[in-house]
């Protein structure tokens, strides 16, 4: 946004600023309506050594132009997705961070919350998710901003918001669904079913092999990146098989990428 501020030159109030004061020290009033260059209040003026009105070199100030670029920025206090977060709620900023968080969670229940700042349903649901996180301190809530990680969300086939995925230990993905404030019971039922403590044999599984391959195909994960995961062997064998991972047809990623927001 650009704005231009123009300042004109005007004389108001007494004329003392221009002509000084009279011999008696009093300020001179406003100028008469009709003046000749050599008259003032009916008296002759000696302007032989002065510069006449017509020759005054008084120039109005140049117009001031101010170019200001308005940036749309939301202050931290206004970012609803940052409000009332609990200690077990973690913001995810990359695919690697998501993979590592799932693998390092052990047997703890992990809930991935896919949201968008512009999603009205996400905003309405956010306070209740925070309350549920507070009442389930052993669970880990991973928050994924769809707008920030759109490519990753497409690879994971997330096309409706708000969307949730539940993971636990060696079992990997337990369930996934979309729910709103009106259907929050679906979320509570999943918490009741999978939130109880359990011991699963083996290391945490995390994302499915197909999802890891999808992320690798779009450069979200490095080929040489070490993945401490039960599917690592199959993942590496697939990478070394000579298939062209840049071809999304191999991964079935040609589905519609239209995002639905509740």
Phi then psi for residue 140, to 5 deg, are: -110, 125
Q: Is 73 a catalytic residue?
A: no
Identify the active-site residue in 3, 119, 175, 199: 119
Instruction: Count Cα neighbours of 251 within 13 Å in the Cβ-side half-sphere.
Output: 24
Q: Is 199 a catalytic residue?
A: no
Identify the active-site residue in 15, 122, 153, 179: 122
Which of 193, 75, 187 is closest to 122 using CA atoms?
Answer: 187
Q: What is the distance between the alpha carbons of residues 187 and 204, in angstroms, rounded to a whole number?
A: 22
Cα end-to-end distance, the chain, whole Å: 33
Which of 70, 64, 61 is closest to 5 using CA atoms?
Answer: 64
- Joined tokens for residue 20: 């000084």
In the block, tokens 């991972």 appear at 245
Beta partners for 165? Answer: 112, 176
Other residues' Cβ atoms within 10 Å of the Cβ of residue 28: 15
3-state secondary structure of 115: strand
Q: What is the distance between the alpha carbons of residues 41 and 37, in angstroms, rounded to a whole number?
A: 12
3-state secondary structure of 243: coil
In the block, tokens 């968008």 appear at 116
Beta partners for 43? Answer: 40
Residues involved in catalysis: 119, 122
């Amino acid at each position: 946004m650009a704005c231009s501020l123009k300042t004109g030159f005007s004389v108001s109030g007494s004329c003392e600023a221009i002509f000084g004061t009279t011999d008696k020290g009093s300020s001179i009033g406003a100028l008469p309506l009709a003046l000749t260059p050599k008259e003032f209040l009916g008296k002759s003026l000696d302007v032989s050594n002065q510069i006449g009105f017509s020759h005054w070199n008084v120039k109005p100030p140049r117009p001031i132009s101010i170019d200001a670029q308005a940036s749309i920025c939301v202050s931290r206090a206004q970012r609803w997705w940052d409000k009332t977060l609990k200690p077990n709620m973690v913001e995810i900023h990359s695919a690697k961070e998501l993979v590592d968080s799932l693998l390092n969670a052990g047997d703890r229940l992990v809930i991935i919350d896919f949201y968008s700042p512009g999603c009205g349903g996400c905003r309405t649901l956010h306070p209740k998710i925070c309350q549920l996180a507070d009442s389930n301190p052993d669970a880990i809530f991973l928050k994924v901003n769809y707008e920030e990680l759109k490519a990753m969300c497409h690879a994971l086939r997330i096309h409706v918001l708000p969307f949730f995925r539940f993971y636990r230990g060696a079992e990997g993905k337990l369930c996934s669904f979309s729910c709103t404030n009106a259907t929050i019971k679906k979320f509570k039922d999943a918490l009741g079913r999978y939130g109880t403590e359990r011991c699963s044999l083996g290391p945490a599984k995390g994302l499915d092999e197909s999802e890891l391959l999808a992320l690798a195909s779009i450069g979200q994960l490095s080929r040489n990146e070490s993945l401490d995961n039960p599917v690592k062997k199959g993942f590496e064998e697939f990478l070394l098989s000579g298939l062209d991972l840049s071809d999304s047809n191999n991964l079935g990623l040609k589905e519609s990428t239209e995002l639905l927001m509740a």
